Amino acid sequence: MRVCVIGTGYVGLVTGVCLAHVGHDVVCIDVNEEKVKLMQSGQSPIFEPGLSDLMKSSMATGHLQFSTNLQAGVEHGEILFIAVGTPALPTGESDTRYVEAVAKGIGSHLNGGYKVIVNKSTVPIGSGDWVRMIVMDGVTERQAVPVPAGGVPETTHPEVIADFDVVSNPEFLREGSAVYDTFNPDRIVLGSNSPRAIAMMKELYTPIVERRFAEDTTAGAVPVVVTDLSSAEMVKYASNAFLATKISFINEVANICDRVGADVTQVAQGIGLDSRIGKKFLQAGIGWGGSCFPKDVSALIHTADDYGYEAQLLKAAVDVNNRQRQITLEKLQQVLKILKGKTVGLLGLTFKPDTDDMRDAPSLILIEQLNRLGAKVKAYDPIVSQSGLRHGLTGVIVESDASHLADSCDALVLVTDWQQFKELDYAAMGQRMNSPIMIDGRNFLDREAMVRAGFQYMGIGR
Ligand SMILES: NC(=O)c1ccc[n+]([C@@H]2O[C@H](COP(=O)([O-])OP(=O)(O)OC[C@H]3O[C@@H](n4cnc5c(N)ncnc54)[C@H](O)[C@@H]3O)[C@@H](O)[C@H]2O)c1
């Protein structure tokens, strides 16, 4: 099928590349010219395991193209994905101005021929109808533009030009395993009142539903959940709010463990084996961050507020998460007493491993707070240390390798659980430090091994 993906960030680019890989003809559009040039040269602007290779092979087969030309993209696609960012405003609500710009742009380029407009961006509940309205605004605004002298007037009625349906198709991929998640989804959610649009979306996803590109091609078909527009939008928010709350729950338990002398990693194992609870998202630590959980939880709280409902549980999940950042700092103060004049080394900067995404990363808050308390901050991150991202950071010296990070540090804090951090020579690193102290913000390292390496080790809730 002919597909246009508008917005080539973590979601749009992965979606475009994977749909091209399964055989669709995909044009990816972005307003960022530099990014588009990079992608046209076969390079991915983001780090995501497996993405670059798939991108190159799909470009070679002619199934994948990149452009800044929205009109060409709209003309090309039978299915038009909106995959631009919806960051949080200071009030907590979603900033939908990029979605609005795209919807209007699509409207201004519609020219007859049925289209399915798909909201893949995470948008506030009720946005499906709003997108339809904005697309129609784009159609009518274009019609209002006078035809230049000698030009051919576009006389088609707006209803004929604007033959489209809107579908909400929330995205559940995890950064760091986005390609894997796209080919191995737990479910596909399609929200629309149009049977025609749903049928086209099902056809689009058939290779994925039938697991032709999955790790286990013999597993049963991927469940497709068809809902109305608002319910699909709510599925996305409710999923992220649930996962964030689950993490805040185990962090709350960890803080109680700390006080009563229990080990939260053992507790999590004990409760996680209960099939009603499950093991995932029960790792206590420095708290959740990233580009989705914080903004999606606050957007849901804000929506509830708009409708006169106070989302108390979600507000508590946010409070616990904010307090969790503080706990790492308190642990440092407990062992180092005064932080002024001390040097703290951070292992990891990205909000989670296997990504280069720094949005709402816990490391940023830690850096800010340590700076405020007069500490010098150094950091090493397998991706950030080797990329241009390091130059955008303030208040932290980004080292090029982990062993140098340890030089003259008074303590290390493990912030991101990169697999590489399990393999470091901690005994040698400890010798380069003023005092070999490790605050393990992810309960990721082997406590006994760290003690054997000469470290004073503190985890979260253990
Ligand atoms: N990142 C994730 O893990 C994830 C997971 C699920 C859902 N989501 C949701 O998906 C959406 C996209 O997230 P992301 O992380 O991919 O965003 P992103 O910020 O990484 O990428 C957005 C892209 O859209 C482009 N863009 C902005 N305005 C444009 C316009 N008018 N026309 C064309 N391109 C435009 C930007 O240049 C950028 O490349 C968000 O709503 C997000 O909440 C993200």
For the stretch 188-246, pLDDT in tens is 999 999 999 999 999 999 999 999 999 999 999 999 999 999 999 999 999 999 999 99
Q: What pLDDT, on a 0 to 100 scale, did the predictor assign at position 128?
A: 93
CA of 71 to the centre of ligand 1 (A): 19
Compute the distance from residue 133 Cα to the ligand 1 centre, in Å: 21
pLDDT of the residue at 142: 79
Question: Which one-letter amino acid corresponds to residue 128?
Answer: G
Pairing of strands 224-227, 456-458: unpaired
Choose the residue to mutate in 10, 173, 186 for probing ligand 1, maximizing ligand atoms within 8 Å of C-beta.
Answer: 10
* CA neighbor of 139 nearest in space, from 129, 154, 151, 152: 154
Q: Which residue has the tokens 């949080």?
A: 88
Domains of the chain in start order, with CATH, are: 2-227 (3.40.50.720), 260-462 (3.40.50.720)
122 lines ligand 1 (CB under 6 A): yes
For residue 96 the two structure tokens come to: 């939908």
From 8, 11, 29, 86, the mutation candidate for ligand 1 (largest count of ligand atoms within 8 A of CB) is 11
Q: pLDDT at position 157, please?
A: 66
Atom 19 of ligand 1: nearest residue by CA position: 85
- Ligand 1 atom nearest 46 alpha carbon: 20
Tell me 363's DSSP state.
H
CB 72 within 8 A of CB 27: yes
**Residue numbers of the chain with a pLDDT score lower than 70:** 145-157
Measured CA to CA, the distance from residue 441 to residue 415 in angstroms comes to 5
Nearest CA to ligand 1 atom 25: 7
Q: Does the beta carbon of 182 lie inside 6 Å of ligand 1?
A: no
- The residues, ordered by sequence, that sit 6+ positions from 254 with a Cβ below 8 Å of its Cβ are 264, 284, 460, 461, 462
CA–CA separation, 15 and 73 (whole Å) = 15
Is 15 a pocket residue for ligand 1 (Cβ < 6 Å)?
no
Q: What's the CA gap between 251 and 253, in Å, rounded?
A: 5
- Is the CB of 88 inside a 6 Å radius of any atom of ligand 1? no
3-state secondary structure (DSSP) of residue 455: coil
- Given the CA of residue 175, which atom of ligand 1 is nearest to it? 3
Rounded distance, CA 264 to CA 72, Å? 55
Tokens representing 128 are 């499906």
Q: Is the CB of 121 under 6 A from ligand 1?
A: yes
Any atom of ligand 1 within 6 Å of the Cβ of 30: yes
Contact at 8 Å (CB) between 319 and 327? Answer: no
For 305, the token pair is 């507020």
pLDDT in tens, 426-451: 999 999 999 999 999 999 999 999 99
> Nearest residue CA, atom 15 of ligand 1?
10
Catalytic (active-site) positions: 292
Burial of 391 (0-12, 13-18, 19+ CB in 10 A): exposed
Does the beta carbon of 410 sit less than 6 angstroms from any atom of ligand 1?
Answer: no
